[in-house]
Structure 1
Amino acid sequence: MLYTALAIDYDGTLADAGCVSPAALDALNRLKGAGFTLVLVTGRTLESLRAAFPEMALFDRVVAENGAVVHRPDTGDSTLLGPPPPVEAIEALRRKGIPLEVGQVIVASRIPHEKTMIDTFRELALDNAVEFNKGAVMVLPAELTKATGLQLALDELQLEASKVIGIGDAENDHSFLALCGASVAVANAISSVREDADLVTQGGAGDGVVELANYLIAGDLQALARRQRDHAPLTASGLRPTRSS
């Protein structure tokens, strides 16, 4: 089997408007039954994810907070890859009236508050990076990305990144998709993710995951590549030779 694991983004990829469809949930169960390792890679906090997706125990690892937290659903343990959010920044942003979600490592809000968040961290001389997920904006330690968290998860699972196929839709997915052996974009992905991906599904959030799962279980990603060339050519030749060797 060329790929033995699937790394998947949550919002806009697995979930549509925050919810996972019965068909997408069934696809995850079928992938597990076929022996695939599943890793969820999300910008959400674990608290937010638990509320939206009680079935997250289907995953062997959950990379949360945009790569800053690696969670083990089987034991309930988590590893934090960065320090807690700086209290002074949280207090300053709240004084400015910025709506916040505070995680174990990240501080998150939504556009159009990104400038205020960036300026506040700069004023406090805090060395943090800003990541965007369509309308969401997240501030976290500069060295952390979804790829950072995914790599730790793969190390724990003793999996090579070359054996993982990743699927996503937004700006903050670029890093973990580049780490994977092959990358897939759902149809509703932003243009840069679709252009960089090895394959693009015809279905959008949820439906695209079902589509990919069907091809993975059948062991025929080339069929997806052929379908893409016939109907929605966004890359030159489906899976790139350097990725599929």
Structure 2
Amino acid sequence: MTGRHLEDLQGAFPGLGICDLVVAENGALVFTPPAGRITPLAPPPAADLIQELERRGVAFTVGRSVVATVRAFEQPVREAIGMLRLDVQLNFNKDALMLLPAGVDKRSGLLAALGRLEVSPEQVVGVGDGENDLPFLRACGRSVAVANAVPALRNAADVVTAGERGDGVQELIRLLLADTRTAPPG
């Protein structure tokens, strides 16, 4: 589960093939590494939006469905969306700003992936750090925020790790493994 463009994720994590499914672009697509199949869950960004953002001098990248920029461009982005009367939502992750079709977020991507895997959301432990993680964490059976998460996420999570970033994820894995080892069979 990531807000990143799929290509960026593949570059950062060459071992992605060990995963059955990957939700990327903040919930806008599901990637099946074993088959190399990409399933878009949202349409591509509107061409007129791309043109208008360029005209306004907004620095951005374009994925298959998401347009990514930084929070500093929020005002011209909002103006472009309003002028074009697009049904686009803004998703924030600290300083990052992602534009997606309304109704598309990490929660919708998670639910699509879980449907394919035939797994209930209650069986999922989700971990996050940014505002864009809140919808998907609310859908998980157990929600975890790492120590450096934004305050809203730390306040909403079932558990907050002592460690930040990867250290917090390692802490969570150790807790889950310890719980599995001590749980009665059944």
Which range, TM-score by smaller chain? over 0.9
Q: Aligned partners of 1:111, 1:221: CA distance in 2, in Å? A: 43
Q: Aligned partners of 1:185, 1:129: CA distance in 2, in Å? A: 23
User: Counterparts in 2 of 1:3-18, with a 5 A limit?
Assistant: none
Match of 1:143 among 88, 95, 103: 103
Structure 1: which 5+ runs fail to align? Answer: 1-40, 223-245
Aligned residue in 1 for 2:131? 171
1:98 corresponds to 2:98 = no
Residue 217 of structure 1: CA displacement? 1.5
**What is the CA deviation profile of residues 94-130 of structure 1, one whole-angstrom value per residue up to 9, with x for unaligned ones?**
1222111101111110121011111101101111100
Cα gap change, 1:96/1:154 in structure 2, threshold over 3 Å: closer, same or farther?
Answer: same
Structure 2: which 5+ runs fail to align? Answer: none
Q: Aligned partners of 1:153, 1:221: CA distance in 2, in Å? A: 28
User: Counterparts in 2 of 1:53-132, with a 5 A limit?
Assistant: 53-132=13-92
Match of 1:87, as an amino acid?
Answer: A
Q: Aligned partners of 2:58, 2:181: CA distance in 1, in Å? A: 45
Cα gap change, 1:93/1:75 in structure 2, threshold over 3 Å: closer, same or farther?
Answer: same
**What is the CA deviation profile of residues 58-77 of structure 1, one whole-angstrom value per residue up to 9, with x for unaligned ones?**
32211111111111111111
Q: Aligned partners of 1:139, 1:94: CA distance in 2, in Å? A: 14
Aligned residue in 2 for 1:24? none
8 Å CA contact retained: 2:71, 2:92:
no
Match of 2:112 among 126, 137, 152: 152
Q: Aligned partners of 1:191, 1:56: CA distance in 2, in Å? A: 30
8 Å CA contact retained: 1:185, 1:194:
yes
User: Counterparts in 2 of 1:32-71, with a 5 A limit?
Assistant: 41-71=1-31
Match of 1:217 among 172, 177, 182: 177
User: Counterparts in 2 of 1:199-214, with a 5 A limit?
Assistant: 199-214=159-174
Aligned residue in 2 for 1:18? none
**What is the CA deviation profile of residues 34-89 of structure 1, one whole-angstrom value per residue up to 9, with x for unaligned ones?**
xxxxxxx1111101111222122232211111111111111111111111110111
- Give the secondary-structure state (helix, strand or coil) at the position aligned to 1:219: helix
- Give the secondary-structure state (helix, strand or coil) at the position aligned to 2:165: coil
Residue 219 of structure 1: CA displacement? 2.0
Count of equivalent residues:
182
Which structure is richer in relative contact order (CA contacts within 8 A, separation 6 or more)?
A: 1
Aligned residue in 2 for 1:225? none
Q: Aligned partners of 2:77, 2:51: CA distance in 1, in Å? A: 12
8 Å CA contact retained: 1:215, 1:221:
no
Aligned residue in 2 for 1:196? 156
Q: Aligned partners of 1:135, 1:142: CA distance in 2, in Å? A: 20
Identity of aligned residues (%): 46
Q: Aligned partners of 2:88, 2:71: CA distance in 1, in Å? A: 18
Q: TM-score, normalised by structure 2?
A: 0.94
